[in-house]
Amino acid sequence: QVQLQESGPGLVQPSQTLSLTCTVSGGSISGGTYYWSWIRQHPGKGLEWIGYIYHRGNTDYTPSLRSRATISVDTSKNQFSLNLSSMTAADTAVYYCARYHYDPGSDYSNIFDYWGQGALVTVSS
């Protein structure tokens, strides 16, 4: 059974950079047709896709965060990470990592099939 676990600081100072890591267990981050994703949820609000990375390093981001977000992968540790720079109070949210199953042309594709439990990040001085 694949499991994902977010780790990182729960409190970030304004203007600083958030660094979160997602550790994948029960499966290889390099195997299969998966993109490794970050999604956030502002308090009491809906879901916002931040971006994803393929194990070979290909990335894509939502336009509103593209200038501040960087997603990277460390296949040797079976981890992927999110850096989000210039944090403000508006970035306070629960950050989820998730596996995105991408197999175009298949009848089971473009699916977030495994999620981490989420990590609450508060931006405050």
Chain residues that interact with other proteins, rule: CB under 8 A: 46-49, 60-63, 96, 98, 104-105, 107-113, 115-118
Least distance CB 70 / other proteins (angstroms): 16
Of how many residues is the chain composed?
125
Nearer of residues 14 and 113 to other proteins, judged by Cβ? 113
Task: Map tokens 């336009």 to a residue.
Answer: 63
Least distance CB 76 / other proteins (angstroms): 26
Nearer of residues 16 and 21 to other proteins, judged by Cβ? 21
- Cβ contacts of 80 within 8 Å, gap of 6 or more: 21, 22, 24, 29, 36, 53, 71, 72, 73, 74, 97
Q: Token pair for residue 60?
A: 């894509």
Nearer of residues 60 and 74 to other proteins, judged by Cβ? 60
